[in-house]
Structure 1
């Protein structure tokens, strides 16, 4: 098949760490240059000179075009999809501009800071016949894809119960980088709640559907932390933390099952299991376990066990169909590669449309508004 030609908006010249502010575009670059189904053909930064610097710094081919405006990259006939990989506050304005040129878009998750803005982009894209996909890469993780396939096949009958117990190491007790302070601010749109819980609950919803009713609880262990600059100097000794590091959601799924989702934050899980997901049905049960890390980015040691009530438990393979080149990209970029390929190959269940993401964003607002805060 002809490779999907990607224009990338937001590519920093160097990487100082996989999660540092302003550098997420490098993960998208790594995905594009390591897949035979993808081709990075253009980079757009705030200026053409900045884009040229990034292209040169990463040793990209001379065929990769450099642009300094949305109009220039959108008017490039060799760009099939424009990926907006910049700070959340810029998503809405840039995406709205690009939609005027009838270009298909990928917008990083969350799509925008508000349900209203995401809804407006969804309506505008629909009116113009343009596709917007969202970078909630957990949906295309091979374990999530296999669980979705198994649940849909009714191999365990009708789902009656599910629980997800997750772990994240984004602990702020020993200090926090100023450049990433938004992760600790519940109203920033990029808090631990939005990014970590948001990505993971989106994967959960993609397998089992959303909740029809919920009860939620939040807790923040540390109320303040030392905010540090890039050199480790304290810039604020008592930075207030408003984003929860413990999140509990329980309720009833739209299809009738009882379900819960729990996310805790500390240095490391005591048993080495970062994620445990149980899906129990009328005819059997599925259990996924994975190592420490961010579940939606692909975690090591993932395992799916199927136990039919009429047979012995068996481990389900979910990796054998993947190509060898995918192993050249590590987390956190590997599921971005899978996301792009799912779109290129028309695997609609394996990536989120903006309508799918809007449903998740509305759910997040519901969780946030209904949360009871533990002291």
Structure 2
């Protein structure tokens, strides 16, 4: 495996086209000037020949050399002997199909969260990775934010004493039209549970990885959920309503309580769909960690504050603000994850971490659906 101290890691990127998450976030993060010595984009793969050629031409100009163009099955890019690592950024329901050929080819893998449409998908990918002995990186980039690094430092110092409880409140406002009650056309798939891209899957999965990375694993959960917004209005690419309304049976409110392995009691309330921004007075994110000797609090009223994996919150220790040299945006945060992998650090998430979070999400869903406490059993 190449590293930043030798030749650059040669990357083939699946899903890196003209638009979408890969084009606006994960691709630009990889292509940061500070990572040029660590990574080299050598190939792209998209769904069609035309888009693959267009993408290869565009990114070839960015990296300063020709980029190979593949399309269709990922087995093509996975079999390229010039590639060390394949990065995959496609919709969740295609993760398993796209990632398995890469793992079977023995290539290292970067895969966006949620690493499959369900726990079974994620476990299948993890088993393949173990069998082939490859390295994996999952796009749970929240582990990279500097606020969390500081929180872990404070906790390790013992400044707030033994942790007794933690309380979290989050709001995914309608200003971010990925879920109800307003949804852009390209995100209508998030309202079909089997696609694995609902609120519970993506944003809650991101946060719960950040939470457990900081405070440790759950041993049990008691959850309830509600489907407050039973319909969603579809928005066009211009952000204006198209007039189409779709039904939504995906829960948009969650209340999760449980105990951590440390014995701390946790309460998380997540709601979605409310109006946010100026004039509402509504904070998007509050996370309190209470110890015997004090309290750590993180909070944000930014419209993306509910997504600390991409928008660093303010930090307070015993009511006093702690200054942190935060990463400025989501691209910088993702770039930090790429850097950690190249340097062989241990701060990035792997497919095994993804299995743990998927296991927790399934337990939450089971508890909320069946109305009883569920023990979280990690394989």
How does the TM-score come out when normalised to structure 1?
A: 0.84
Q: Secondary structure at the match of 1:204?
A: helix
* Residues 79-109 of structure 1, C-alpha deviations (whole Å, 9 max, x = no match): 3321111122221122110112211101111
Indicate the residue corresponding to 2:357 in structure 1. Answer: 360
Structure 2 gaps, min length 5: 372-379
- Between stretches 94-103 and 35-44, larger displacement belongs to 35-44
Indicate the residue corresponding to 1:8 in structure 2. Answer: 13
Is residue 2:334 matched to residue 1:336?
yes
How is 1:151-170 mapped onto 2 (pairs within 5 angstroms)?
151-170=155-174
Q: Please give the alpha-carbon distance, in whole angstroms, between the structure 2 residues aligned to 1:261 and 1:164.
A: 5
Counterpart selection for 2:147 from 143, 147, 166 = 143
**Partners of 2:92 and 2:195 within 8 A in 1:** no
Structure 1 gaps, min length 5: 16-21, 308-312, 321-325
Counterpart selection for 1:226 from 220, 233, 238 = 233
Indicate the residue corresponding to 1:306 in structure 2. Answer: 317
Change in 2 beyond 3 A, CA 1:346/1:195 = same
Q: Secondary structure at the match of 1:63?
A: coil
How does the TM-score come out when normalised to structure 2?
A: 0.83
Per the TM alignment, residue 286 of structure 1 is displaced from its structure 2 partner at its CA by 0.8
- Between stretches 240-249 and 23-32, larger displacement belongs to 23-32
- Between stretches 358-367 and 147-156, larger displacement belongs to 147-156
Change in 2 beyond 3 A, CA 1:234/1:246 = same
RMSD of the TM alignment (CA)? 2.6
Indicate the residue corresponding to 1:19 in structure 2. Answer: none
Q: Please give the alpha-carbon distance, in whole angstroms, between the structure 2 residues aligned to 1:107 and 1:202.
A: 15
- Between stretches 244-253 and 77-86, larger displacement belongs to 77-86
Q: Please give the alpha-carbon distance, in whole angstroms, between the structure 2 residues aligned to 1:92 and 1:100.
A: 12
Indicate the residue corresponding to 2:262 in structure 1. Answer: 255
**Partners of 1:219 and 1:245 within 8 A in 2:** yes
**Partners of 2:206 and 2:309 within 8 A in 1:** no
Per the TM alignment, residue 174 of structure 1 is displaced from its structure 2 partner at its CA by 6.0
Q: Please give the alpha-carbon distance, in whole angstroms, between the structure 1 residues aligned to 2:150 and 2:77.
A: 36
Indicate the residue corresponding to 1:295 in structure 2. Answer: 307
* Residues 262-321 of structure 1, C-alpha deviations (whole Å, 9 max, x = no match): 112212163353211111112322111123214234326x321123xxxxx54333327x
Q: Secondary structure at the match of 1:155?
A: coil
**Partners of 2:115 and 2:122 within 8 A in 1:** yes
Indicate the residue corresponding to 1:267 in structure 2. Answer: 275
- Between stretches 96-105 and 140-149, larger displacement belongs to 140-149
Is residue 2:293 matched to residue 1:283?
yes
Per the TM alignment, residue 234 of structure 1 is displaced from its structure 2 partner at its CA by 4.2
Indicate the residue corresponding to 1:63 in structure 2. Answer: 66
Indicate the residue corresponding to 2:322 in structure 1. Answer: 316
